[in-house]
Amino acid sequence: MSEEFNDNKTIQAQSSESISGGGSGAANDIDYVRPAEVGEQDLYHGHSFISKWVFCQDAKVIGVQYFLLATFTGIIGLILSWLMRLQLGFPELAGFMTAEHYYQFVTMHGMIMVVYFLTALFLGGFGNFLIPLMVGARDMVFPYLNMVSFWMFFIAVGVLLASFFVPGGPTGSGWTLYPPQAILEGTPGSGWGIMLMCISLILFVAGFTMGGLNYLITVLQARTRGMTLMRMPLTVWGIFTATVLAMLAFPALLVGALMMSLDNLLGTSFFMPTILKAGEVLEYGGGSPILFQHLFWFFGHPEVYIVALPAFGIVSDLISVHSRKNIFGYRMMVWAIVGIGALSFFVWAHHMYVSGMNPWFGFFFATTTLIIAVPTAMKVYNWILTLWRGNIRLNTVMLWCLGFIVTFVNGGITGIFLGNVTVDVPLSDTYFVIAHFHMVMGIAPLMVIMGAVYHWFPLVAGRMLDEGLGKWHFWITFLGAYSIYFPMHYLGFIGVPRRYFEMYDSPYMTSAVGMNEFISIAAFIVGAAQFILFYNIIKTLKVGKPSGHNPWKACSLEWLTPSVPPEHGNWGDKLPIVHRWAYDYSVPGAKEDFITQITPPSEVANTEVEKT
Amino acid sequence: MHAGIIFFLVILGSVLFHIFTPWYWTDVASNWGGMDDTITLTFWVGGGVFIAVCLFMIYCVFKFSYKEDRKAEYKPEDKKLERILTWATTLGVAALLAPGLIIWNQFISVPKNAIEIDVMAWQWGWQYRLPGEDGKLGTTQVVNINDNNPFGINIDDPYGKDDVMIQSDVINLENNRPVKILLRSVDVLHNWYVPQFRAKMDAVPGIVTYYWFEPNKTGKYEVLCAEYCGVGHYAMRGGVIVQDDQDYDNWLQDQETFSDLIAKQKILETSKTKLAKK
Q: What is the 3-state secondary structure (H, E, C) of chain B?
A: CCHHHHHHHHHHHHHHHHHHCCCCCCCCCECCHHHHHHHHHHHHHHHHHHHHHHHHHHHHHHHCECCCCCCCCCCCCCHHHHHHHHHHHHHHHHHHHHHHHHHHHHHHCCCCCCEEEEEEEECCEEEEEECCCCCCCCCECHHHCECCECCCECCCCHHHCCCEEECCCEEEEECCCCEEEEEEECCCCEEEECHHHCCCCEECECCCEEEEECECCCEEEEEEECCCCCCCHHHCEEEEEEECHHHHHHHHHCCEEHHHHHHHHHHHHHHHHHHHHC
- Test the B interface: residue of A422, A476, A583 with most B CBs within 10 Å: A422
Give the separation between CA A50 and CA A58, rounded to whole angstroms: 12
- Chain A stretch 458-487, residues whose beta carbon is closer than 8 A to a beta carbon of chain B: 475, 479, 482, 486-487
Q: What is the pTM of this model?
A: 0.92
Residue B138: Cβ within 10 Å count: 23
Greater pLDDT, A592 or A398: A398
Q: Tell me if B183 and A356 make a contact (CB, 8 A cut-off).
A: yes
Nearest CA in chain B to A402: B57
Cβ neighbours for A544, distance < 8 A, ≥ 6 positions apart: A461, A463, A464, A465, A466
Give the separation between CA A396 and CA A552, rounded to whole angstroms: 12
- Average pLDDT rounded to a whole number, residues B81-106: 93
Q: Where are the alpha helices (DSSP H) in A266-360?
A: 289-323, 330-343
pLDDT for res A11: 43
Q: Is the confidence at residue A578, as pLDDT, over 80? A: yes
pLDDT for res A2: 41
Q: How many Å is the Cα radius of gyration of chain B?
A: 28
Point out the residue among A363, A410, A427 whose CB comes nearest to the CB of B101.
A363
B212 interaction partners in chain A (CB closer than 8 Å): none
- Average pLDDT rounded to a whole number, residues B210-239: 94
Q: Is the confidence at residue A6, as pLDDT, over 70? A: no
Greater pLDDT, A370 or A11: A370
Distance from CA of A234 to the nearest CA of B (A): 14
B188 interaction partners in chain A (CB closer than 8 Å): 178, 180-181, 184, 186-187, 275, 289
pLDDT band at B75 (very low <50, low <70, confident <90, very high): confident
B176–A contact, CB cutoff 8 A: no
Backbone φ, ψ for residue B146 (5° rounding): -155, -175
Q: Is the confidence at residue A25, as pLDDT, over 60? A: no
- Chain B stretch 190-249, residues whose beta carbon is closer than 8 A to a beta carbon of chain A: 191, 193, 195-196, 198-207, 209, 222, 224-235, 237
Q: Is the confidence at residue A24, as pLDDT, over 80? A: no
- Average pLDDT rounded to a whole number, residues A461-487: 95
Q: Is the confidence at residue A26, as pLDDT, over 90? A: no
Q: Is the confidence at residue A362, as pLDDT, over 80? A: yes
Q: Is the confidence at residue A535, as pLDDT, over 60? A: yes
Q: Tell me if A354 and B201 make a contact (CB, 8 A cut-off).
A: yes
Burial of A257 (0-12, 13-18, 19+ CB in 10 A): buried
A291–B contact, CB cutoff 8 A: no
Q: Is the confidence at residue A585, as pLDDT, over 70? A: yes
The amino acid occupying position A111 is M
ipTM: 0.94
pLDDT for res A594: 93
Q: What is the number of CB-based contacts under 8 A between chain A and chain B?
A: 333
Give the separation between CA A502 and CA A505, rounded to whole angstroms: 9
Q: pLDDT, tens digit, for every residue of A375-395?
A: 999 999 999 999 999 999 999
Cβ neighbours for A445, distance < 8 A, ≥ 6 positions apart: A118, A122, A307, A308, A311
How is the beta sheet containing B164-166 ordered, strand by strand? B209-213, B179-185, B115-122, B125-130, B164-166, B256-257
Q: pLDDT, tens digit, for every residue of B114-163?
A: 999 999 999 999 999 999 888 899 999 999 998 888 999 998 998 988 99
Give the separation between CA B6 and CA A257, rounded to whole angstroms: 46
Burial of A450 (0-12, 13-18, 19+ CB in 10 A): buried
pLDDT band at B278 (very low <50, low <70, confident <90, very high): low
Give the separation between CA A170 and CA A190, rounded to whole angstroms: 8
Would you say B42 and A423 are in contact if contact means Cβ atoms under 8 Å apart? Answer: yes
Would you say A410 and A403 are in contact if contact means Cβ atoms under 8 Å apart? Answer: no
pLDDT for res A505: 75
Backbone φ, ψ for residue B65 (5° rounding): -75, 160
Q: Is the confidence at residue A48, as pLDDT, over 90? A: no
Backbone φ, ψ for residue B18 (5° rounding): -65, -40
Residue B255: Cβ within 10 Å count: 17
Q: Hey, where are the domains in chain B? A: 3-63+77-108, 115-270
B204 interaction partners in chain A (CB closer than 8 Å): 289-290, 355-356
B82–A contact, CB cutoff 8 A: yes
Q: pLDDT, tens digit, for every residue of A407-445?
A: 999 999 999 999 999 999 999 999 999 999 999 999 999
CA A201 to chain centre: 17
Q: What is the DSSP-derived secondary structure letter of residue A466? A: P
Nearest CA in chain B to A609: B74
CATH code, B115-270: 2.60.40.420
Burial A290-325 (b: 16+ CB within 10 A, else e): bebbbbbbbbbbbbbbbbbbbbbbbbbbbbbbbbbb
pLDDT for res B93: 93
Residue A483: Cβ within 10 Å count: 21
Counting Cα atoms < 13 Å in the Cβ hemisphere of A213 gives: 13
Point out the residue among A188, A330, A585 whose CB comes nearest to the CB of B72.
A585
Distance from CA of A570 to the nearest CA of B (A): 30
- Average pLDDT rounded to a whole number, residues A334-351: 95
Strand partners, B8: none
Q: Tell me if B231 and A103 make a contact (CB, 8 A cut-off).
A: yes
- Residue-averaged pLDDT of chain A: 91
Q: Tell me if A374 and B93 make a contact (CB, 8 A cut-off).
A: yes
Percentage of residues of chain A with pLDDT beyond 90: 81
Point out the residue among B65, B187, B233 whose CB comes nearest to the CB of A184.
B187
Point out the residue among A184, A354, A405 whose CB comes nearest to the CB of B200.
A354
Helix (H, G, I), strand (E, B) or coil at A291: helix
Nearest of A155, A290, A135, A318 to residue A216 by alpha carbon: A135
pLDDT band at B1 (very low <50, low <70, confident <90, very high): low
Distance from CA of A426 to the nearest CA of B (A): 5
Give the separation between CA B261 and CA B151, rounded to whole angstroms: 12
- Chain A stretch 568-597, residues whose beta carbon is closer than 8 A to a beta carbon of chain B: 583, 585-588, 593
Would you say A330 and A229 are in contact if contact means Cβ atoms under 8 Å apart? Answer: no
Q: Tell me if A422 and B193 make a contact (CB, 8 A cut-off).
A: no
Would you say B96 and B39 are in contact if contact means Cβ atoms under 8 Å apart? Answer: no
Q: Tell me if A423 and B66 make a contact (CB, 8 A cut-off).
A: no
pLDDT for res A14: 41
pLDDT for res A28: 59
- Chain A stretch 97-156, residues whose beta carbon is closer than 8 A to a beta carbon of chain B: 99-100, 103
Distance from CA of A273 to the nearest CA of B (A): 5
pLDDT for res A16: 40
Q: How many Å is the Cα radius of gyration of chain A?
A: 25
